[in-house]
Structure 1
Amino acid sequence: MARDLRGFIKQLEQRGQLRRVSAPVDSDLEIAEIANRMLQRGGPGLLFENVKGSPYPVAINLLGTVERVCWAMNMESPQELETLGKKLALLYQPRPPKKVSQAIDLGKVLFDVLRAKPDRDLFPPCQQVVVKGDDVDLTTLPMLRVYPGDAGKVMTLGLMITKDPETKIPNVGVYRLQLQSKNTMTVQWLSVRGPTRHLRKAAAMGQDLEVAIAIGVDPLVILAAATPVPVDLSEWLFAGLYSGSGIHLAKCKTVDLEVPATSEIVLEGTVTPGEVGVDGPAGDHMGYYGGVNEKAPLFRFHCMTHRKDPIYLTTFSGRPPKEDAMMALALNRVYTPILRQQVPEIVDFFLPMEALSYKAAVISIDKVYPGHARRAALAFWSALPQFSYTKFVIVVDKDINIRDPRAVVWAITSKVDPARDVFILPDNPFDSLDFATEKPGLGSKMGIDATTKLYPETDRPWAAPLVSDPDVAAMVDRRWAQYGLADLELGEVDPNLFGYDMKV
């Protein structure tokens, strides 16, 4: 049976992680304000059933916790995600097996690939209702205006599908679109993304680029679209690997593209190279209003299909925590084995949510030679396309808990001499939404070597770190109950005890 958004909503409701709101609400600012308060508190997903000016209910904050992201991927804990990452790593950069066990592992993955091939639906639910031509009216969709300074309403969780005009390989991604008229929207694209390559090729071939927007898909497919897949592999295949079976696709009515068959709503249209509109300002993931882009690609939609009584799934960007940050925290576990495949010396890595989930990375290495930390940082920046926009890379020793900010700050302050251990790479292609750079789209990167230094990195002998006597520590463990302290848990320490104000 095909997975869909409705099944996930039902799962959340059964687990007490969904609240239905029947009171009338406005998609202009009000829904976002309510959802943001839920996000800040780790609250449940929301289904607004009575949205002013639209016949469609709005689902939001469904992926607002790491736990719910795991549920969307058929898993119960983040630890299971790394097992999936190991499987994907074999596909990302396959190598001839050297052992029988490696051959068996590769064989299992290839079998999973066969099971993950998409199925086709001849009578898909997403085409139960078909609207074409002048009857297409995007203003009936309950798109959100999130912040008071936004230029207009935006679509933030539509799955965009385009196809390479030459290879015919599809690209599936999530990009912000801004409503311009009843049948047009502009898009916020980064220059390195797949659709921009497709549009450049279409321009060179003198043709329009076809596009489809699938709204209200199974959240698992959204997570697959956010995974760093190799250019020659389809996100549909990765979605099948995530779910354990091939996802169901449907051929669009008016364009030569395929979309998830269980989508709630599908928009079909084209973008003509050189036809642009004014996009922005709009609230962005950096926590500021993005600038105005007067040359944003303009989409024209001529067909809308949808299920009976469709649900509009959405989210919004901004300073973390937001849903995209929760997804990034979970996918961090999936990336780790893929990154190790590319850069073997990396033991672990972490993209802190507070650093916008990609602007700063902490990586740990098993350091064995001078300059090793710098090499690891440089390799990290080139390992996966999305890491090219990471501004800071902090490299620590393998015994540092990279997910503990106190441990990372201790490593930086106790192991770093700024003149020796900080290096800057100027004039790199950069995120144009980063206002900290002097020039739009061009900025610098910083590497910080917070590892223990080896000769000739330093001529000073490095003192031994302070650690408990292992025999005494073991004895205290055994006698803990005898001390009358058995009722005191020795788990995570409350950060507030050390002056960290963790209240939202």
Structure 2
Amino acid sequence: MLVKNPVNDRQSLRGYLEFLEQEFPAELLRIKVPVKREFDMTTTVFELEKAGRDPTLIFENVEGFDMPVVTNIAANRRVLAGLLGVEPDALPAAFRERVQKYIPCERVDDAPWNDVVMEGDDVDLTKLPIPLQFGVDAAPYITAGQLVARDPISGVDTTGFHRLMLKGKNRLGVSLHSRRRMYEFHRRAEQMGKSLPVAITLGIHPLHYMGSMVYAYPPNVRKFEIIGGLFGEPYRVAPCGVEGLEVPAGAEIIIEGEILAGVHEPEGPFGEFTGYASYRSTQNVFVAHRVRMRQDAMYHSVVSGMAKDHILTTCITREGEILNALKRNLPNVKAVHVPHSTCGAFMAIISMNKIAEGEPQMAVMAALGTELYTKYVIVVDEDVNIFDMNDVMWAIATRVRAEKDVFMIPGSKGAILDPSSDPETFTLTKMGIDATRPTGRDFAERLTISEESKARAQAILKAAGVSL
């Protein structure tokens, strides 16, 4: 479908900011005081996290640059749930349901990022306010760059995040360490003796952010069709200057170029989601040929390290993916939680109504088989709040007999960025914990407090001048 008017702010970063102003005004923070691109923006986000706050931030005055920086757009579970019209605890299930409803894209003939076009010697990525986030980082990094490319064999495109190290005016280091579609596309192009044509998208809506993290889907489906499922309508894309490629019409900035064949250069270290500096990289190189942007473009950055902006979306997408896999054979599974505190990847907690022994073990194996990054899986009864680690640890402390309820799977493939994995093979031992009550015999009764009693206690405290 071709549409003349490409503007649909609902699907853009700007549309998201308008949504915040209307629905969650306390979660939008404009910083007007001057900030440096070195460390200030990252540190501000971490200080807010320590204080229990996760607002989207707009840094309006970055010293030495004319462009504002928007960050922390995907750090608030309540806001992300609001975008899908559900409560926070229903977010994984809503995500799981919608990413399976593929909606064909709507192609438009123009986009606002065609306002300004620079190519050849005019391309200068150093003029973008790219933050330096941690002292260990080898250089400033584009962290919100969504790479878009097509499979050289099938022609189906994909999009996803990859870290991009600033190396010069038109040169970026890139790591394809996820070893998934983009890595395979580049490998196939390289086998043909060709570089991989790529466009980098900057400035996207959080629902695009979320949808781009999905990895388990049929090979003939476009990521943009998955993102459309989250929006509940066709996602609008427009042709860019890279032949055959379409990119989001609502984006702020498009960088067009290619990932070179047969060229590898040092890339990293970089402050990764693990909370450690990562020196592991595929050491690929992207060369920019052209930059397109809105006249009043905003620069979008994702706070790296263990910031929620970096890993909360991976928590939610992994929750949805694991829940989807479990529901196929274990309909009595209730919910899945991947805690932010476990790097948004390495632990999954499963709530289930166990009706037979062995079901928790089935759930563990299905979860580990679904999610490469996950290495610890805990299964609990549905009376345990999986979003409260105190409750989960209580279940482990009182319901686990280690000799029968803890089991190991050695030699499992792990994440390349997991510092505990073998540096040569990236394998490690994974673990499952059955923290459910045994079936077929009486078990100690859990102490509970009724909702009526809680309400009375809250009223007593309020009368005493205590605010909760």
The 5-angstrom pairing of residues 477-488 of structure 1 reads: 477=452, 487-488=459-460
CA contact (8 A) 1:211 1:255 kept: no
The alpha-carbon distance between structure 1 residues 193 and 126, as it changes in their structure 2 partners (threshold 3 A), is: same
- Name structure 1 gaps, 5 residues minimum: 92-108, 456-461, 498-504
Q: 2:60 aligns with which of 24, 49, 66?
A: 49
The one-letter code of the counterpart of 1:445 is K
Partner of 1:500: none
Partner of 2:40: 30
The 5-angstrom pairing of residues 26-175 of structure 1 reads: 26-41=36-51, 42-71=53-82, 73-75=83-85, 77-79=87-89, 81=91, 84-85=94-95, 87-88=97-98, 91=100, 113=102, 116-175=103-162
CA deviation after TM superposition for structure 1 residue 74, in Å: 4.3
The one-letter code of the counterpart of 2:236 is H
Partner of 2:330: 344
Query: SS in structure 1 opposite 2:266?
Result: strand
Partner of 1:464: 443
Cα distance between partner residues in 1 of 2:408 and 2:447: 38
The 5-angstrom pairing of residues 86-485 of structure 1 reads: 87-88=97-98, 91=100, 113=102, 116-232=103-219, 233-291=221-279, 293=281, 295-319=282-306, 321-331=307-317, 334-335=320-321, 337-345=323-331, 346-383=333-370, 387-440=371-424, 441-453=426-438, 462-467=441-446, 477=452
The alpha-carbon distance between structure 1 residues 47 and 191, as it changes in their structure 2 partners (threshold 3 A), is: closer
Query: SS in structure 2 opposite 1:449?
Result: strand
CA contact (8 A) 1:85 1:336 kept: no
Cα distance between partner residues in 1 of 2:64 and 2:16: 26
Partner of 1:17: 27
TM-score by length of 1: 0.82
The alpha-carbon distance between structure 1 residues 118 and 391, as it changes in their structure 2 partners (threshold 3 A), is: same
Cα distance between partner residues in 1 of 2:157 and 2:442: 55
Partner of 2:3: none
The one-letter code of the counterpart of 1:171 is T
Query: SS in structure 1 opposite 2:43?
Result: helix
Cα distance between partner residues in 1 of 2:106 and 2:457: 59
The one-letter code of the counterpart of 1:289 is A
Q: Deviations over 1:196-250 (max 9, x none)?
A: 1111111222221111110012222111112344042212112111112112111
Partner of 1:106: none
Aligned length: 450
Query: SS in structure 1 opposite 2:260?
Result: strand
Calculate the aligned-residue CA RMSD, in Å: 2.8
The alpha-carbon distance between structure 1 residues 332 and 208, as it changes in their structure 2 partners (threshold 3 A), is: closer
Q: Deviations over 1:308-359 (max 9, x none)?
A: 020001122223x521333245446644652343342433221111111210
CA deviation after TM superposition for structure 1 residue 467, in Å: 4.5
Cα distance between partner residues in 1 of 2:372 and 2:429: 11
Larger Rg over CA atoms: 1
Query: SS in structure 2 opposite 1:275?
Result: coil
Cα distance between partner residues in 1 of 2:258 and 2:347: 36
The one-letter code of the counterpart of 1:419 is E
Cα distance between partner residues in 2 of 1:245 and 1:186: 35
The one-letter code of the counterpart of 2:444 is P
Cα distance between partner residues in 2 of 1:151 and 1:445: 32
The alpha-carbon distance between structure 1 residues 85 and 463, as it changes in their structure 2 partners (threshold 3 A), is: same
Cα distance between partner residues in 1 of 2:171 and 2:198: 12
Cα distance between partner residues in 1 of 2:56 and 2:204: 16
CA deviation after TM superposition for structure 1 residue 413, in Å: 2.1
CA contact (8 A) 1:255 1:269 kept: no
The one-letter code of the counterpart of 1:209 is L
The one-letter code of the counterpart of 1:256 is G
CA contact (8 A) 1:62 1:68 kept: no
The alpha-carbon distance between structure 1 residues 358 and 74, as it changes in their structure 2 partners (threshold 3 A), is: same
Cα distance between partner residues in 2 of 1:85 and 1:188: 28
The alpha-carbon distance between structure 1 residues 317 and 343, as it changes in their structure 2 partners (threshold 3 A), is: farther
The one-letter code of the counterpart of 1:62 is I
Cα distance between partner residues in 2 of 1:230 and 1:204: 25
Q: Which one is further off, 173-182 or 361-370? A: 361-370
TM-score by length of 2: 0.88
CA deviation after TM superposition for structure 1 residue 405, in Å: 2.2
Query: SS in structure 2 opposite 1:223?
Result: helix
Sequence identity of aligned pairs in percent?
A: 28
Query: SS in structure 1 opposite 2:411?
Result: strand
Query: SS in structure 1 opposite 2:189?
Result: helix
CA deviation after TM superposition for structure 1 residue 415, in Å: 2.6
- Name structure 2 gaps, 5 residues minimum: 1-6
CA contact (8 A) 1:118 1:240 kept: yes
The one-letter code of the counterpart of 1:32 is T
Query: SS in structure 1 opposite 2:65?
Result: coil
Cα distance between partner residues in 2 of 1:382 and 1:394: 15
CA contact (8 A) 1:39 1:323 kept: no
CA deviation after TM superposition for structure 1 residue 53, in Å: 2.5
